[in-house]
Structure 1
């Protein structure tokens, strides 16, 4: 282990819940070599994944990657072309949606416009023939959970977008399914309300001890809410890991570029010195020194180096002699975002590097300006080597 790695944890600490790390743990849902074809088009391609009881699991990926199709197969609205899906050990093949211990909350919410909030929530319970007293108790519990007690008698057209979302969530939870499926649940909300609702969903999931599976293309949404994220591309899962691992240790260039902002620099492996990789690039005069022990590389191998903008530093002038991992260039653009300032620096090679600096102080003396010559640096353990 090199001296640059002080803390073995990856990302911020979330919670001790991690059944996927226990070899003896039995997953609640098992998706085994599932393929789904629509004619000649393959939506899901030999996909396997395990999802555990009480896990907040997220399927993340661009449009058309197969994430919604996978969710619909778990719900029973689509049947796999090949492979199988089991829930609590039971094969779901041929089991209709209404016979599965699963409920789904759609992006459109699909509320009944002529019914009040409480009647919308009670609808599924009445369909199941539950006693009136039990229905009333369940509805009251759901109204409290989503904080809509005072709006129980309003109709959907008298509610805001966020309130409608809560009604749809309460209706989906009222039947107490083992698994709640949420398809882009926050897509219709504005940014501030979406951020607030993310934490509310986390609190509700934790309080109920239920398994949530969310489909989204919003990386920030997935990173905030999920215990684990499955990043999908072209019908396959590219990586399944915690948010911290997905962001800090992406397995592929696709993941590095899809999740968050990243700078990618092409290079060739020169070898190892003291356990650190040396990588030559056209972007810098001296080879980079990279601390990435997870990669097994060969001399002369082409690689991509990924560095997140917030892990790079920027200062005026040329680098001092012996400065490690230094790039020089000219400030091309500056974006002030309130909490962060983003610098876009053009290197002599023509590449544009993006550097983020936290605005910890309200005032900055003599700030870096457009067209200034600057040096960019990063620590050896700030970069990830991507061999594919």
Structure 2
């Protein structure tokens, strides 16, 4: 019997979603985990399941608890309360070197006096592998990260991207159950970082391993991860696939933290099936939005709208166009593939609208101090109660 298709939002990288299967057993389980340092609580009652072969991202600002959570899994810290299990084994009291995990640090921590091949061979040697097996494993890892011709070089003779790949090969040479990546691409320039993100995804799927990455880079997490856990002040705020995090944020914090967004304070005036009529100080006309929540008239809510979900025009829309803001161009950011317009409304509030630059030449481009009209459809935004 064919499996029913799971309804999804946005792009799907692969058909892999064990978290939607009630019978699936998690590989890693955090059970009501707390970590305190004196009076400071870094991780506050976190419960989280991560599945085998999942590429999972812990995302949040500095000090949110994501690295502390990873360090507890690695064994560098012990939970103050709760427990962590890996493949059904309680990790309480298990030292780092006896856990089937490996960690790749932001600094890479390569041995400077060793060649690339010897760096990769270090783990298998420590594990007591035979010489022939070690040589075969090193050859396999070099081919995996496309560094076969660099085997005899020392780390200082490599570029930043090459050193990153050596560190990755060394980290997976012992075939741990879980690879922990702590800001692994932070030292790379933007273009190389973007290229390496896709290499990481390909490598993870080739190895069939579970990757857990800690990052504060939203774009990085959105690119590589099957699911993202957004953290704030030691608490999990939302755990979902990237498209759901972006298109259906659970809270105002998540909407604001992930990408650009306009957050508009509103009051519910009326409910009409799946539509809400919202009053806001930004326009004298009520907004009509589609929402499946349980808001009722009189509720204070926020409407979150991404800049790319809105349209900007020099011409006034017709009455059927629906939701509309009138304003004046305050600033423009030209980014090549798109332009970002900052529109000041009569009340003084500024909103962002982004538009793709589909043509090299525009007859009458929108420019500073132009009067413009910003429109959006009823289903373009998300209504948030918290």
TM-score range, shorter chain: over 0.9
Listed as ranges, the gaps of 5+ residues in structure 1 are 1-6
Does 1:107 pair with 2:136?
no
**Cα distance in 2 for residues equivalent to 1:8 and 1:95:** 40
**CA deviation vs aligned residue, 1:250-280 (integer Å, no higher than 9, x gap):** 0001100000000011110012124201110
> Under a length normalisation based on structure 1, what TM-score does the superposition of the two structures give?
0.97
User: Do the aligned residues in 1 keep the contact of 2:315 with 2:372 (CA within 8 Å)?
Assistant: yes
**Cα distance in 1 for residues equivalent to 2:27 and 2:360:** 49
Quote how far apart the aligned CAs of 1:320 are.
2.9
Does 1:324 pair with 2:322?
yes
Does 1:142 pair with 2:159?
no
**CA deviation vs aligned residue, 1:323-364 (integer Å, no higher than 9, x gap):** 311000000111110111110000011111100101122222
1:341 paired residue number = 339
Paired residue secondary structure (2:220): helix
**Cα distance in 2 for residues equivalent to 1:362 and 1:176:** 50
Instruction: Please give the residue correspondences for 1:62-77 in structure 2 after superposition, counting only pairs within 5 Å.
Output: 62-77=61-76
CA RMSD in angstroms comes to: 1.1
**CA deviation vs aligned residue, 1:149-201 (integer Å, no higher than 9, x gap):** 00000001101110110010000000000000000000000000000000000
Does 1:291 pair with 2:290?
yes
> Under a length normalisation based on structure 2, what TM-score does the superposition of the two structures give?
0.97
User: Do the aligned residues in 2 keep the contact of 1:318 with 1:373 (CA within 8 Å)?
Assistant: no
**Cα distance in 1 for residues equivalent to 2:320 and 2:146:** 59
**Cα distance in 2 for residues equivalent to 1:275 and 1:136:** 63
Listed as ranges, the gaps of 5+ residues in structure 2 are 1-5
Among 346, 351, 356, the alignment partner of 1:358 is: 356
**Cα distance in 1 for residues equivalent to 2:234 and 2:253:** 14
Which stretch has the larger CA shift, 319-328 or 232-241?
Answer: 319-328
Paired residue secondary structure (2:195): helix
Paired residue secondary structure (1:113): coil
Paired residue secondary structure (1:192): helix
Paired residue secondary structure (2:71): helix
Paired residue secondary structure (2:283): coil
1:3 paired residue number = none
Quote how far apart the aligned CAs of 1:319 are.
3.9
Paired residue secondary structure (1:177): coil
**Cα distance in 2 for residues equivalent to 1:317 and 1:46:** 53
Does 1:368 pair with 2:357?
no
2:300 paired residue number = 302
Does 1:248 pair with 2:255?
no
Instruction: Please give the residue correspondences for 1:24-173 in structure 2 after superposition, counting only pairs within 5 Å.
Output: 24-173=23-172
Runs of 4 or more above 2 Å deviation: 317-323
